[in-house]
Amino acid sequence: MAFFEVLAGSVNTFIAALGETVKLAIVSLIIATVLGIIFGLFTVSKVKILEWISAIYIGIIRGTPLLVQTFIIYYGLAQVLRPLGFQWKLIGGPFTAGAVALSLNAGAYMAEIIRGGIESVDRGQMEAARSLGLSYGKAMQKIVLPQAFFTMLPAIINQFIITLKDTSLISIIGIRELTQNGKILAANSSTKVMIIWVIVALYYLVVCTILSKIAKVVERKVSHGK
Q: Which CATH number does the domain housing residue 51 bear?
A: 1.10.3720.10
Model confidence pLDDT, tens digit, residues 133-172: 777 778 877 788 888 887 888 888 889 999 999 999 999 9
Domain assignment of residue 182, given as a range? 2-225
Cα 58 to Cα 12, 61, 109, 164, distances in angstroms? 39, 5, 8, 20
Question: Minimal CA–CA distance to 110: which of 15, 203, 37, 193?
Answer: 37
Domains in the chain, number: 1
Q: What is the pTM of this model?
A: 0.87
Residue 161 has phi, psi (to 5 degrees) of -60, -45
CB of 169 closer than 8 Å to CB of 68:
no
Q: For the residues 173-177, what does the mean pLDDT come to? A: 92
Contacting residues for 40 by C-beta, under 8 A, at least 6 apart = 54, 110, 111, 112, 113, 114, 115, 117, 118
Model confidence pLDDT, tens digit, residues 178-220: 999 999 999 888 778 999 999 999 999 999 999 888 888 877 7
In the predicted structure, residue 126 carries a pLDDT above the cut 80: no
pLDDT grade for 224, boundaries at 50, 70 and 90? low
Query: pLDDT > 70: what percent of the chain?
Result: 97
CB of 144 closer than 8 Å to CB of 121:
yes
CB of 134 closer than 8 Å to CB of 143:
yes
Model confidence pLDDT, tens digit, residues 54-113: 999 999 999 999 999 999 999 999 999 999 989 998 898 999 999 999 999 999 999 999
pLDDT of residue 226: 55
C-alpha–C-alpha distance, residues 76 and 69, integer Å: 10
Mean pLDDT for all residues in the chain:
88
CB of 126 closer than 8 Å to CB of 145:
no
